[in-house]
Amino acid sequence: MNTGHFEIQQNGNLIVFRPEGGFSLPQTKTYAAQFEAQVAKLEGPSWGLLSVYGETASADPGVQQRVWNQLNWCLEHGCDYIGFVVTNEYQERLVEEVSKNLPFKDVKIFQDEQQGLDWITQKLAS
C-alpha cells in the first residue's frame, strides 16, 4: 500500500479534507491530531466537513473504526453537515459504513467535487 498523505483546508466554517494514497492506523492518528487542531480554530457552533478522496485513497482494515471515531468526534464538536466525494465503489462503501447511524443533520456522497462544495456551502448558509 502506498504511503498516504493529506491536505486540510479551511474556508470559513467549512473544512475540506483531501486524503491520497494508503492510510495505516498510525497515519490516521496523525491526521486526527492535525484535524482537531484545525477545527479548534473555527468560529461559531456549526461547521461542515467535505472529505474529497483522491483516486488512490484507501485504508488498512483497522482504520475503519478510527475513521468512525473521528466522525463521532466531529459530531460532538459542532459538525452538522458532512459530504464525501468518492472516486470508486470501495470508497463509497467505506464512507457509507463509517457514517451510518451518526446523527449529523445531513450526510451526502458525491462523485463530483464541485457538487459537494455547492451542497455543503448551501447547507452552512441556511
pLDDT in tens, 44-62: 678 999 999 877 666 666 7
Mean pLDDT rounded to a whole number for the chain = 85
Q: Give the pLDDT confidence of 76-90 residue by residue, as tens digits.
A: 889 999 999 999 998
Burial of 109 (0-12, 13-18, 19+ CB in 10 A): middle
Positions in the chain whose pLDDT score sits under 70: 1-3, 22-25, 43-44, 56-61
Q: How many CA atoms lie within 13 A of 60 on its CB side?
A: 14
5-125: CATH, from 3.10.20.310, 3.40.50.300, 3.40.190.10, 3.40.50.10600: 3.40.50.10600
Q: Please choose, from the candidates 41, 106, 101, 37, the residue with its C-alpha nearest in 3D space to the C-alpha of residue 72.
A: 101
At 84, list the grid cell.
464525501
Where does the chain have alpha helices with state H? 25-39, 63-76, 89-99, 113-125
> What whole-number distance in Å separates Cα of residue 67 and Cα of residue 12?
23
Q: 95 and 116 in contact (C-beta within 8 Å)?
A: no
Looking at residue 123, what is its pLDDT?
A: 95
Domain range list for the chain: 5-125
